[in-house]
Structure 1
Amino acid sequence: MELALLAIAVGVGVGLVVGALGAGGGILAVPVLVFLLAQDPHSATASSLIIVLVTALFSIPHHARNGNVNWREGLVFAGVSVVGAVAGSRLSVLVDPQLLLVLFGSMLVAVAVLMAVRGVRGRRQENLERAAHGTSEADQPLLTHDDPVLDAPGPDTVIAADGTHTHHGKPADHSAGPGSRRLPVVIVAATLTGFLTGFFGVGGGFIVVPMLVIALGLAMRRASGTSLLVMIVATVVSLLARIGTHVSIDWTVTLLFAAGSAVGGMLGGPLSAKARPSTLTLIFATLLGGVAAVTLGTTLLG
């Protein structure tokens, strides 16, 4: 009973962070499952996949209703990620548990640095956008339905004076799939996303979102919604790939954690209503840095 209550409590806590910061639940769930809920690393990565899947399933309807899920390109990206997901899942169960945690902690450090860089760049872009619109932070809310930063097209898409969208200097065909748009980059990014999902039990949103923005020219808001579709496919495949391995899942703890995370996510969303996206990104980077320090310190020194 105590373990069940703890699972719910920490699930709500992780959900609050995910909802408020827009962070990926899996990247926080694994260390929590290992160090607070006493799961072994292999079981924790498998349980994390379920938590990521539940979170994405609860989150995607809202984005879909608002037209922020690009189904065609998202499904193509997700389909390519399947190969990496299967390979990552099969390889993960063969790695020593301590080494798995060290690799996970190292990944946290890398992601924290990338997020910090993205946060700094995002802050500069926000300042430029608001200066161009003649508004200040005190004059307008930063996360509204029409946000100049979140709704701006990706860096490879340009809106001309007549409103025409061009991609790499050519008219953008929004009905086309990603086959004509940096296909090698998309294949590598999708495969890597699938591998990280299967190997570490994370959703891979920290890779999917920027790649959908850069390689496909999607706006940040649309890329965030589409990334949930990719996560759903990648996590399902990663779980299926673990069938027949020695990894076991504590379903009671995992489902209670996932339920708590879903509730926390709904409560945490409104907390970010008036925060700058760049501020949330920098807070997330700091949080990841702290989790990485605890993970590596406990694993290497404990």
Structure 2
Amino acid sequence: MDLALLAVVVGVCVGIVVGALGAGGGILAVPVLVFLLGMPAHSATASSLIIVLITALASLPHHARHRNVDWRNGLVFAGVSVVGAVVGSRLSALVPAQILLTLFGAMLALVAISMLRRALRARAEERVAEHTSPAEAATEEPVATYDDPVLDQPGPDMVDTADGLRSHHGEPELPLTPTPPASPRLSLVIAAATLTGFLTGFFGVGGGFIVVPMLVIALGLAMRRASGTSLLVMVVATATSLLARLGTDVQIDWVTTLIFAAGSAAGGILGGPLSAKARPSTLTLAFSALLGGVAAVTLVQTLVL
């Protein structure tokens, strides 16, 4: 009974993180399943895929209603990630549990550092914008922004403001040059999507922790839009990774997994509205802090204890 209650409570917390950040479910679920609920590492990676899949499905409608999901680019990105997800899932079963968890912790630490740097830059830009007077802003040359760099067209949720700038739900995008930006290199998008799928399948996580920065870097999406789109990618990547695990020796504790998933799905519904109230830089800072904390705990538990 205590174990079930713990699974529900932690599941709700994980779901809130997924709903608010569009990421984080798997990176929390795997350590919790291993270190708190006593699951073997390979079973935990498979169970976390089920948890993240259910949570992402529960969180996606909120972001879709607020038009924070780039369906076209998200589905293309997810489709390319399928190959990597299948390869990663099959390879994961061949790696010893301790090595798997060590690589998991090291990867999270690297992503946490990268996202922290991005958050600090975004916070500095927000502060500059806050201290810019209306008169100074009026003298600046209006520039066009594009929310869909692949097609060089404004996204459906971009609106024109009085000063000639386009904004994302009232929040100005970072200014770009007046000419439409060049489309990202196809090779970069393919590489990013394949890597995302591989990491999802190999570590058994939803992939949101890597999908969000990849969507920001490869497709140039705003943080909030990348968070919503990542849920779509997570649904496809986790479902593919689960199918790829069919026929392996990995066993799933369905009772604990489904209880955890139910709590996570409820938390995901609660977490969605939180993202609309926070600054993009705050979301990124929370994301990086979460990754750093989980990385530290995982590496200490695996290498020291």
AA at the equivalent of 1:75 = L
Q: Could you tell me which of 277, 281, 297 is aligned with 2:280?
A: 277
Deviations 1:82-140 (CA, angstroms, capped at 9, x unpaired): 110001000001100111111111112112211211211121122233334659xxxxx
Partner of 1:146: 170
**1:273–1:209: structure 2 CA closer, same or farther, 3 Å change rule?**
closer
Q: CA RMSD in A?
A: 2.3
Partner of 1:6: 6
What's the offset of the Cα at 1:290? 2.4
Q: Residue 80 of structure 1 contacts residue 191 of structure 1 at CA under 8 Å; is this kept in 2?
A: yes
AA at the equivalent of 1:285 = S
Q: Could you tell me which of 175, 180, 183 is aligned with 1:166?
A: 180
Measure the CA separation in 2 of the matches of 1:36 and 1:10.
10
Partner of 1:236: 239
Measure the CA separation in 2 of the matches of 1:115 and 1:97.
27
- List aligned pairs for 1:113-128, cutoff 5 A: 113-128=113-128
Measure the CA separation in 1 of the matches of 2:208 and 2:126.
22
- Aligned to 1:264, the other structure's residue is in SS state helix
What's the offset of the Cα at 1:214? 3.2
Matched, 1:199 2:214: no
What's the offset of the Cα at 1:51? 1.2
AA at the equivalent of 1:260 = G
Partner of 2:85: 85
Measure the CA separation in 2 of the matches of 1:21 and 1:290.
16
- Aligned to 1:166, the other structure's residue is in SS state coil
Q: Residue 14 of structure 2 contacts residue 24 of structure 2 at CA under 8 Å; is this kept in 1?
A: no
Partner of 1:59: 59
Unaligned stretches of 5+ residues in structure 2: 136-167
What's the offset of the Cα at 1:61? 1.3
Matched, 1:221 2:236: no
**1:293–1:52: structure 2 CA closer, same or farther, 3 Å change rule?**
same
Percent of aligned pairs with the same amino acid: 72
**1:62–1:21: structure 2 CA closer, same or farther, 3 Å change rule?**
closer
Partner of 2:251: 248
Q: Could you tell me which of 268, 273, 294 is aligned with 1:265?
A: 268
Q: Residue 109 of structure 2 contacts residue 295 of structure 2 at CA under 8 Å; is this kept in 1?
A: yes
Give TM-score, length-normalised by structure 1: 0.82
Unaligned stretches of 5+ residues in structure 1: 136-143, 169-179
What's the offset of the Cα at 1:269? 4.4
**1:59–1:253: structure 2 CA closer, same or farther, 3 Å change rule?**
same
Q: Residue 189 of structure 1 contacts residue 207 of structure 1 at CA under 8 Å; is this kept in 2?
A: no
AA at the equivalent of 1:181 = P
Partner of 2:98: 98
- Aligned to 2:180, the other structure's residue is in SS state strand
What's the offset of the Cα at 1:21? 5.0
Partner of 1:26: 26
**1:275–1:238: structure 2 CA closer, same or farther, 3 Å change rule?**
same
Q: Residue 54 of structure 2 contacts residue 261 of structure 2 at CA under 8 Å; is this kept in 1?
A: yes
- Aligned to 1:167, the other structure's residue is in SS state coil
Matched, 1:42 2:42: yes
**1:231–1:16: structure 2 CA closer, same or farther, 3 Å change rule?**
closer
Deviations 1:199-233 (CA, angstroms, capped at 9, x unpaired): 11122223322332333233333222222111111
Partner of 2:156: none
What's the offset of the Cα at 1:252? 1.1
Which 4+ stretches in 1 moved above 6 angstroms?
A: none
Farther off after superposition, 248-257 or 189-198: 248-257
Partner of 1:175: none
Give TM-score, length-normalised by structure 2: 0.81
- Aligned to 2:249, the other structure's residue is in SS state coil
- Aligned to 2:171, the other structure's residue is in SS state coil
Partner of 1:210: 213
Measure the CA separation in 1 of the matches of 2:232 and 2:126.
27
What's the offset of the Cα at 1:41? 0.6
- Aligned to 1:298, the other structure's residue is in SS state helix
Measure the CA separation in 1 of the matches of 2:15 and 2:292.
18
**1:21–1:133: structure 2 CA closer, same or farther, 3 Å change rule?**
farther
